[in-house]
Amino acid sequence: EAGVTRPKGYNVSFHCNPDMEKHHFGQTHPMKPWRLTLSKSLIYSYGMSFAMDNYISRAATYEELASFHATDYLDFLGTVLPEPVPFDVENPNPDLKFNLGGSDCPLFEGLYDYCSMSAGGALDAARKLCTKQSDIAIAWGGGLHHAKKSEASGFCYINDIVIAILQLLRCYPRVLYIDIDVHHGDGVEEAFFSTDRVMTVSFHKYDPQNFFPGTGALDDNGPQSEHNPGSHHAINVPLNDGITDEQYDWLFNSVIGKCIEKFRPSAIALQCGADSLAGDRLGRFNLQVQGHGACVDFCKRVGIPLILFGGGGYTPRNVARAWTYETSIAIDHQDKLKHMIPTHTPWRDHFRHETLFPTLEQILGEPRPNRNTQKKLQDIVQHVTEQLRFVQA
Ligand code: TV1
Ligand code: CA
Ligand code: ZN
C-alpha cells in the first residue's frame, strides 16, 4: 500500500548464556566452551548487538530435555560426579554407562548445567521463531548434533537441535535441517528417521574407518520401507579432504536448492559447525570464512524462519571469525565489516600472537590437498535428485 513502509531487513535475536562458557572438558580436550566468549566479544566489538535482540538464555528444564531424551539417561546425567575413570591397560575401552566418562564425553564439574544451558538457548531461539518475534534466531552455544536419546557421543550429551526442532514442529509443518559441521549429523538424522515433517541434510568428511562417526554414506537415506513416512528424508553428502569454497558453494546451492524445491520447508534449522573451516584442529576441509558464510547467506535468502546453531570448531580464533561473519550476514552488515577493525581489548589480546594483522576473513591454517573430483560431486547431486523423486511436500 502506498505510504506504508516496512522495516528493512530481518528481526534477529541472539541467545547466549555466559555461565555456559565457563565449563571445561579438560586440559587437552579439543572442545573449548570459551570459544563462545571469544566469538561474542568479537561480535560485540563490531557493535552488532545494536542490530539484534539480545537474550541471556535460560537453562532448559528437565521436562524440556525429556521431550527427546530418556529419563533414565537424564537422571544419570544429573547425578554422576566427575570421577575420572581410571585408565586400565587390560581394558582400554570399558563399557561406559550411556557412553559417559570416556575421553570424548568426559564427566566434568557442572556438566548437567552446561547441557541444560546449551539446550535452553536453542529452545529460546526456536520459541522466538514460533512467536514470530524473530525471523532469524542465533544460538551459537547449541548445535550438539551427535547426542542420542539415551547416549552421549562425540562431545555431545544433550541434543539441543532435536529439542529445538521438536519445538518448531509445534508451529511449522515442515523443517529442513542442514548441517555443515565437518562431522556427520547422526543424532539429528536418527531422531527424525520416521517422520516426513523433517528433512535432514548433512555435508561431512566421510571415511568410515578413520573419521568420526563413520556414518552418512551417500546411499544412507534412513530405514527404507513403504510404511515409513520418513523414507528418503535423510540426505547425506559425503566428502573427501580439502574441499574448497567454490566446490562447496556449488554443491550446497545444488543440493539445498533441490531440497527446498521438493520439500517446501516452512522453517530452516542450520547447524554451522566451524570445524569445516581450513586449519581446524580436527577438520579436513579448506573452507574459508566466506565459503562457510555463503551457506548462511543462501538459507537467509530463502526468506523463511531460520535458526542458526553453532556446533564443532576447534581452532577458537577461526570459530570466532566465522560466527562473527555469519552474525553480520544475519543482520545484513557484512559489507560494513570490511571497513571496520575491532579495537575492543579481549579481541586484540587473543589475537596478539598472530603474525598476520588479525582480520576477520583471513583464517589461520595451511590448505590441504583437495581430494574431491568434480565427477564425484556431480554423482552426489545426481543421487540426491533421485532420492528427492520420492519426496512430496
Ligand atoms: C580428550 C583429549 C579427548 C584429547 C578427543 C577427535 C580428545 C579427540 C582429544 C577426538 C581428540 C574425536 C573419535 C575414537 C571414537 C572416537 C560438536 C573409537 C585430537 C560436534 C566429535 C569427534 C566431533 C569425536 C563433535 C571423535 C562435533 N575426534 N583429542 N575425538 N573412538 N571421536 O574418533 O561434530 O564437532 O582429537
Ligand atoms: Ca555435517
Ligand atoms: Zn564436528
The rounded Å distance from CA 227 to ligand 3 centre is 33
How many other C-beta atoms lie within 10 A of the C-beta of residue 113?
Answer: 16
Backbone angles phi, psi at 55, to 5 degrees: -130, 140
The rounded Å distance from CA 6 to ligand 3 centre is 39
Q: Is 232 among the residues known to form the active site? A: no
> CB–CB of 271/181 below 8 Å?
yes
CB-ligand 1 contact for 216 (6 Å cutoff): no
Write the residue with the smallest CA distance to atom 7 of ligand 1: 29
Domain 12-84+96-388 - what CATH class? alpha beta
pLDDT profile of the chain (393 residues), mean per 10: 62 98 96 96 89 97 98 94 66 79 94 98 98 98 98 98 99 98 98 98 98 98 90 97 98 98 98 98 97 98 98 95 96 75 59 59 84 98 97 84
User: Quick one: cell of 306?
Assistant: 531460520
**Catalytic position from the list 23, 145, 146, 232:** 146
Strand (E) or helix (H) holding 351: helix 345-351
> CB–CB of 120/58 below 8 Å?
yes
pLDDT for the residue 393? 75
The rounded Å distance from CA 104 to ligand 1 centre is 5
pLDDT for the residue 225? 87
| Distance between CA atoms of residues 180 and 127, nearest Å | 23
Ranges of each domain in the chain: 12-84+96-388
For the sheet with 53-56, list strands across it.
53-56, 12-16, 136-139, 306-309, 267-271, 175-179, 198-205, 234-239
CB-ligand 1 contact for 104 (6 Å cutoff): yes
Q: How far is CA 384 from the centre of its chain?
A: 21
pLDDT for the residue 63? 98
Alpha-carbon distance values, 73 to 69, 100, 149, 187 (Å): 7, 10, 8, 15
